[in-house]
Amino acid sequence: MMNQWIAAVDLGGTTSKIAFISKEGSIVHKWEIPTDNSDEGANITANIAASIDEKLKQLGVSKEVLLGIGMGAPGPVDYETGVILNAVNLGWKDNFPLKDSLEAATSLPAAVENDANCAALGEMWMGAGKGAKDLVCVTLGTGVGGGVIVNGRIVQGVNGAAGEIGHSTAVPFGGAPCNCGKTGCLETVASATGIVRLAIEEIKKDELQGELAKLFSVQQKITAKDVFDYAKTGDPIGQKVLNEVSFHLGLILANLANTLNPEIIVLGGGVSKAGSILLDSVNSYFAKFAFPAVKNSTKLALATLGNDAGVLGAGWLIKSKLPLND
Ligand SMILES: [Zn+2]
C-alpha cells in the first residue's frame, strides 16, 4: 500500500516549519519557509500550499499521499471553527478564518490549534509524555507558553485561552510588566527574557560578586544560557537566579498539579536546555508545594522533541481524526 503522510505546519511570525509526517509519527521530510506577513497576511496560506506542492513535485510524489494538513499558530484559536482569534505578528485581523483559508489554499482537510498546545500534543504523541493522556507542557522560550491535555484532549477554555500558564501570576505585588498588559506573570521571571532581567537586576544591586557579573561588565549583555552555565559552576548570582526561577516555576506547576494531577509535566523550549540543573531545582520546589497524592504521582520531565514538537503536534491534529485502526 502507498505510504500516507500528514502535512504539518508550525507557523511562526518570521519563519514557518513544514513537515510531512507518517501516521506512526515519524518526520519523513521537513523544511522551512519565510512567513510573508505583508498585506495583512494575505499570502501566508497560499505560500504554504505552494511550498507543499513544490516539495511533492521534487519528491515525485502525488498529492494523494497527503491525508490532511494540521497547523499550530501563534495566538488563541477556536479549535472547533478553526478561527484564530488574534494574531498580531502575522498581519491577520482578529477572528481570521485560518482553517477555511488553509483548506481553500491546499484542497486538504485542515485542523488548526494554538502553537503551545501543539507542542504539548507533540510531546504527548512522540515525546517525553508518550503514552500519557493527562499532561501539562510548559514551553520556556522568549515567552512562556503552555498546553493542558486532559484525557487526550487539549483544554480550550471558553475563549481558546486555557493553558496560558505563562500568564499565571507569579509575583503578585511589584512584579515586572508582561506583554499581556498585566504585571508579575510567570513569563516575566521564567522566560529567557525574564531570567536575563533577574540576573541583570541582581548584578546591578552589587551585593554578590562572581564571574557572571564580570562577564556582564565586559559585554554589557548576558543570555539565559550564561546564567545557567555559571550557576553550574557555583557562581553566586547564577545560583540565586536559578533558585528564584525554580521557586516560581515549582510553585505554579505544583498548584496546577494540585488541581489537575497530570501524569507528567513537560518542560520544553530553549530555556529547558539548561537540563538537569533546572529540572532538579524546579523539582525540589514542586515537591514542597504539591500535596502528597500529587507529589507521588505527577512527575516532571524535560521535553525530548526540541523544535519538532510543534510540527508533530500539528500532525497529531489530523492523526487523531483518522479511524482508530488507520
Ligand atoms: Zn502576562
Q: What is the DSSP string of 198-243?
A: HHHHHHHHTSS-SHHHHHHHHHS---HHHHHHHHHTT-HHHHHHHH
CA of 255 relative to ligand 1 center, distance in Å? 18
- Tell me the CA–centroid distance for residue 179 and ligand 1, in Å: 6
Q: How far is the CA of 172 from the centre of ligand 1 (A)?
A: 12
What pLDDT was estimated at residue 90? 86
**Identical fold between 5-115+308-319 and 128-304:** yes
The model's pTM is 0.93
Model pLDDT, residue 13: 87
Distance 242 CA to ligand 1 centre (A): 21
Cell numbers placing 323 = 479511524
Distance 17 CA to ligand 1 centre (A): 26
* CA 170 to ligand 1 centroid distance, Å: 10
Q: Ligand 1 centre from 192 Cα, in Å?
A: 14
Q: Edge to edge, what strands does the sheet with 135-140 contain?
A: 153-154, 144-150, 135-140, 264-268, 299-302
Report the CATH number of the 128-304 domain: 3.30.420.40
Cα 169 to ligand 1 centroid, rounded to whole Å: 8
Work out the burial of residue 278: count CB atoms within 10 Å of its CB; fewer than 13 is exposed, 13-18 middle, 19 or more buried.
Answer: buried
Q: What is the pLDDT of residue 185?
A: 97
Residue 247 has what pLDDT?
Answer: 98
> What distance in angstroms lies between residue 306's CA and the mean position of ligand 1's atoms?
24
Report how far ligand 1's centroid is from the alpha carbon of 168 (Å): 7
End-to-end CA distance of the chain: 12
| pLDDT lower than 70: segments of the chain | 1-2, 325-326
CA of 313 to the centre of ligand 1 (A): 24
CATH 3.30.420.40, domain 5-115+308-319, yes or no: yes
Domains of the chain, by residue range, sit at 5-115+308-319, 128-304
